[in-house]
């Protein structure tokens, strides 16, 4: 297996996924004006896609266990271009939400199956590096989806923004199709529904898998909580940032694309557990730094928090293949569902603390969640050789 081709392919798959998932965030006010609805309602353009991802993710894994990896990854990457274009031609908010939901239904067939592919086709240090490359691609995609849409919307309107995203997704799908080697170690699942239920029962008793899911849950909870409520802090005195300036703050996400591959190299040398503890410490230090009354200090804190949290994500993704030596893509589906549940709660639960204690209350909650993440990583991650697979394992 040539890791250079795999790296290009999995990074591009990550970009394709997150290029589409959060696309409307940069243009929510424009969409609210276009469809004459309150801002709280236009937020559904994000929620419906996340809901669809959480619903489909476990089934995406089971389907790929039967049909294979590459064909689903490539098919979904090309398929998501269609609803993205249809979003651009929506004449009502209801229609836009339908197409956004359809986007969310397709994205797990890229995300979950790519992670399963990494766990199945790459071993040892190669698996850690490939997972880090995928995580970096997802970071770049998440940033680009917001940034490119905003710029394109300024140039040609919000519909043009979605057209550009559709074109970039089609290009990414072509790259994945050309560079991702066909799976060699995949063995189709047999036994139908009975075998699937057996896999789920096995996952339900898998302590290592559940620990990995806790790491993912805490990671996205912390990211969403941080980058949702810090906007309220920075838009208020003494900072008073405008919407455009708040959008520029989001570029700190790109730091994760640089630090994650570096940290995965560190993980190869010192192990997953120590790297997870280091990343959690960096994230907590960053959260505490955001309490400072200085804008540069707050931005620096967000940089540290992003760097630490995205490293934890890469470590968790890379460990799923070891935690679940059988039915890996089904295990990834479970991970993805719990991951996005964490993100949804991260946008809701800190609200009461914000109203009562302000930003300090949100930071305290996030620090506790990051500490739980670190504890789960220490209790779960293993740095020894992967467990021996059972005969016929997939």
For the stretch 183-239, pLDDT in tens is 776 666 665 556 666 777 777 778 888 898 999 999 988 988 888 788 778 877 888
Per residue in 312-332, pLDDT (tens digit) is 887 887 788 777 766 666 777
Same-domain status, 288 and 142: no
Domain membership of residue 240 (yes or no) is yes
Cβ 327 vs Cβ 201: under 8 Å:
no
Quick one: which H or E segment has residue 236? Answer: none
Nearest-10 crossing angle of helices 272-289, 359-380: 180
According to the model, what pLDDT value does residue 390 have? 31
* Residue 215 shares a structural domain with residue 364: yes
Q: Which two tokens stand for residue 312?
A: 């934890």
Does residue 165 share a domain with residue 212? Answer: no
Is residue 14 domain-shared with residue 147, that is, in the same domain? yes
pLDDT of residue 330: 72
Residues 63 and 25 in one domain: yes
Range of the domain at 261: 202-385
pLDDT value at 57 more than 60: yes
Burial profile 331-356: b = 16 or more Cβ within 10 angstroms, e = fewer: bbbbbbbbbbbbbbbbbeebeebbee
Of 115, 146, 181, which residue sits at a domain end? Answer: 181
Structural domain includes residue 186: no
Q: What is the dihedral of CA 276, 281, 282, 288, to 10 degrees?
A: 150
The arithmetic mean of pLDDT across residues 355-378, rounded, is 94
Q: Are residues 23 and 100 in the same domain?
A: yes
**CA angle (243, 247, 161) in 5-degree steps:** 100
> Looking at the structure, do residues 219 and 260 belong to the same domain, yes or no?
yes
| Structural domain includes residue 171 | yes
What single string gives the DSSP state of each residue in 184-212? Answer: SS-----SHHHHHHHHHHHHHT-HHHHHH
pLDDT, position 303: 92
Residues 6+ away with beta carbon under 8 Å from 161: 23, 26, 27, 88, 148, 149, 150, 152, 153
Residues whose CB is less than 8 angstroms from the CB of residue 321 and which lie 6 or more positions away in sequence, other chains included: 116, 118, 119, 120, 122, 127, 328, 386
Q: What is the mean pLDDT of the chain?
A: 81
Mean pLDDT, rounded, for 260-276: 79
High-pLDDT (> 70) share of the chain, %: 85
pLDDT of 377 above 50: yes
- pLDDT top residue among 286 and 323: 286
Q: Could you tell me which residue, 194 or 173, shows the higher pLDDT?
A: 173
Of 77 and 318, more confident:
77
Total domain count for the chain? 2
pLDDT greater at residue 188 or residue 298: 298
Q: Is 350 a domain residue? A: yes
| Region 97-117 average pLDDT | 89
Fill in the DSSP letter of residue 171: H
Within-domain flag for 189: no
Cα–Cα dist 319/328, whole Å: 11
Helix axes 158-179, 28-35, angle to 10 degrees: 130
The pLDDT of residue 79 is 96
Q: To 10 degrees, the CA torsion angle through 321, 323, 325, 331?
A: -70
Q: How confident is the model at residue 311 (pLDDT cuts 50, 70, 90)?
A: confident
Q: What is the mean pLDDT of residues 144-154?
A: 82
Long-range interactions of 81-86: CB distance < 8 A, separation 24+: 81/166, 81/169, 81/170, 81/173, 84/20, 84/23, 84/162, 84/165, 84/166, 84/169, 85/162, 85/163, 85/166
Residue 98 belongs to domain with CATH number: 1.20.1250.20
């Amino acid at each position: 297996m040539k890791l250079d081709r795999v790296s290009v392919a999995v990074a591009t798959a990550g970009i394709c996924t997150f290029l589409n998932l959060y696309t409307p965030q940069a243009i929510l006010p424009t969409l609210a004006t276009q469809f004459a609805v309150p801002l709280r309602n236009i937020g559904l353009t994000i929620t419906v896609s996340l809901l669809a991802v959480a619903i489909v993710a476990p089934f995406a894994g089971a389907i790929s266990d039967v049909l294979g990896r590459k064909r689903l990854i490539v098919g979904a990457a090309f398929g998501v271009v269609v609803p993205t274009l249809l979003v651009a031609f929506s004449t009502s908010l209801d229609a836009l939400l339908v197409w956004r939901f359809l986007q969310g239904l397709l994205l797990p067939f890229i995300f979950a199956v790519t992670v399963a592919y990494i766990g199945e086709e790459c071993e040892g240090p190669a698996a850690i590096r490939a997972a880090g490359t995928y995580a970096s691609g997802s970071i770049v995609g998440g940033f680009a989806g917001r940034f490119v849409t905003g710029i394109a919307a300024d140039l040609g309107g919000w519909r043009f923004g979605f057209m550009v995203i559709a074109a970039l997704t089609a290009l990414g799908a072509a790259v994945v199709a050309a560079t991702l080697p066909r799976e060699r170690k995949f063995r189709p699942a047999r036994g139908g529904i009975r075998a699937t239920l057996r896999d789920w029962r096995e996952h339900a008793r898998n302590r290592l898998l559940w620990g990995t899911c806790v790491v993912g849950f805490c990671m996205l909870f912390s990211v969403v909580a941080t980058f949702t409520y810090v906007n309220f802090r920075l838009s208020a005195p003494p900072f008073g940032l405008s919407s455009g300036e708040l959008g520029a703050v989001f570029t700190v996400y790109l730091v994760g694309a640089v630090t994650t591959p570096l940290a995965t190299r560190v993980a190869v040398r010192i192990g997953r557990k120590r790297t997870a503890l280091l990343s959690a410490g960096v994230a907590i230090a960053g959260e505490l730094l955001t309490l400072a009354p200085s804008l540069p200090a707050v931005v620096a804190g967000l940089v540290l928090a992003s760097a630490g949290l995205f490293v934890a994500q890469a470590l968790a993704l890379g460990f799923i293949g070891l935690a679940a030596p059988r039915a890996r893509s089904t295990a990834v589906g479970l991970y993805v569902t719990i991951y996005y549940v964490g993100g949804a709660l991260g946008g809701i639960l800190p609200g009461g603390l914000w109203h009562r204690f302000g930003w300090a209350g949100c930071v305290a909650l996030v620090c506790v969640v990051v500490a739980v993440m670190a504890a789960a990583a220490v209790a779960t991650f293993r740095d020894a050789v992967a467990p021996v697979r059972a005969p016929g394992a997939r």
